[in-house]
Structures are given as structure tokens and as C-alpha cells.
């Protein structure tokens, strides 16, 4: 889809198309639709980022809570969104050995207990070793710092999902 097509989408079509660029949070697409026309995918990405940043802490935490655990129950039940399944597969999380799977479960549970929301990381920018390392590291963050970190990861996931939907025309210098 190119930007001309993006900008001509009805509200319903726009939410259908971009409703999962932030995992299970179609309200984000619903909120930014009125900001059309978008100059390019970065412009749409920036609008989404500004909307997320404008939310109160409870809203930001709500967005983080909409994410499934990595290598968690939804993956085992086949209940992930297509996007999340693709990302977790790419990061190698569908092929964890028993030891890594147990470690991931334990750390995910500790993380959720400490912060009250699930561990979110842009899985496509990290492999399973890096994900386990970051998870253990981020457990040591202060809550406000960690909320901000999680939100920045949500934005990275969003950026890659937008790039999957919007084709970027070759940039012209003239």
C-alpha cells in the first residue's frame, strides 16, 4: 500500500489496516486517523508516537499490558496475533529448548510481578539470547524507567509493522 492509498482509507478501513500496529490496541489507529493526510510512513509513525506519549501513565501501561508474554501461553495455545506469531518465530522463541523455556517463563513471571505489565521487547530486533539477556537486565530497572523502556519497544515494534504495510517509494533527490 502506498501513501496515496493510506490517505484515502475510510476510518473503518484504516482501523482494519493499522489496528494491530500496536499489539491489540486498535484504539491507537482510531485516534490518529483524523490526522490525515500523512506525508509518509514516518509521519504516521510520529503521530502514533505522539499519541502514545500524550497518554497518562495508566494508558501507557494499558498499551504494554495488551502484549502477550514472549514464548508464553498464547504462543502455546496458538492464540497470538499473526504479527506477534511472526515476530516470536523470527526471534527463535518457538524453538526454545526446555532450559531456555523454563528460564523465560521464570523471568517473565518475575518481571510481571515487579512491574505489573508483561515484558515487551522488539523481538525482530533481537534473537532469543539477547531477549533473555535484556529481560534479566531490565528486571533491575526502576519502575518509571522501565515503563518508558517498554513504551519505546512498543514504538519499535510499531515502526516495523508499519513498514510491512506501507511500501516506501524510492527516494528521489530531485
121 binds ligand GUN (CB under 6 A): yes
- Assess 104 for contact with ligand GUN (CB under 6 A): no
**Selected binder of ligand GUN within 93, 122, 151, 166 (CB under 6 A):** 122
Does position 154 interact with ligand GUN (CB under 6 A)? The reply is no
38/119 with CB nearer ligand GUN: 119
67 contacts 118 by C-beta, under 8 angstroms: yes
- Point out which span in 8-16, 27-35, 67-75, 98-106 binds ligand GUN (CB under 6 A): 67-75
Q: Which residues are catalytic?
A: 67
Least separation in angstroms between CB 48 and ligand GUN: 16
End-to-end CA distance of the chain: 23
CB of 151 to ligand GUN, least distance (A): 13
Name the H helices within the chain: 3-7, 11-18, 26-32, 41-54, 57-65, 73-77, 82-90, 98-115, 128-138, 143-165
Grid coordinates standing for 70? Answer: 514472549
> Do residues 102 and 132 make contact, with C-beta atoms less than 8 angstroms apart?
no
126 binds ligand GUN (CB under 6 A): no
Amino acid at each position: 500500500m502506498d501513501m496515496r492509498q493510506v490517505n484515502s482509507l475510510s476510518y473503518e478501513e484504516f482501523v482494519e489496516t493499522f489496528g494491530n500496529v500496536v499489539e491489540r490496541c486498535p484504539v491507537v489507529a482510531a485516534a490518529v486517523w483524523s490526522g490525515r493526510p500523512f506525508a509518509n510512513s514516518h509521519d504516521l509513525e510520529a503521530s502514533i508516537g505522539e499519541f502514545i506519549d500524550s497518554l497518562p501513565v495508566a494508558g501507557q501501561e494499558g498499551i504494554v499490558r495488551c502484549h502477550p508474554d514472549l514464548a508464553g501461553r498464547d504462543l502455546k495455545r496458538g492464540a497470538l496475533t499473526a504479527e506477534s506469531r511472526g515476530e516470536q518465530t523470527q526471534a527463535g522463541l518457538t524453538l526454545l529448548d526446555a532450559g531456555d523455556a523454563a528460564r523465560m517463563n521464570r523471568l517473565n513471571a518475575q518481571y510481571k510481578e515487579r512491574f505489573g505489565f508483561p515484558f515487551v521487547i522488539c523481538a525482530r530486533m533481537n534473537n532469543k539470547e539477547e531477549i533473555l539477556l535484556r529481560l534479566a537486565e531490565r528486571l533491575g530497572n526502576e519502575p518509571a524507567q522501565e515503563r518508558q523502556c517498554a513504551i519505546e519497544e512498543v514504538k519499535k515494534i510499531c515502526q516495523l509493522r508499519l513498514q510491512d504495510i506501507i511500501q516506501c517509494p524510492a527516494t528521489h533527490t530531485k
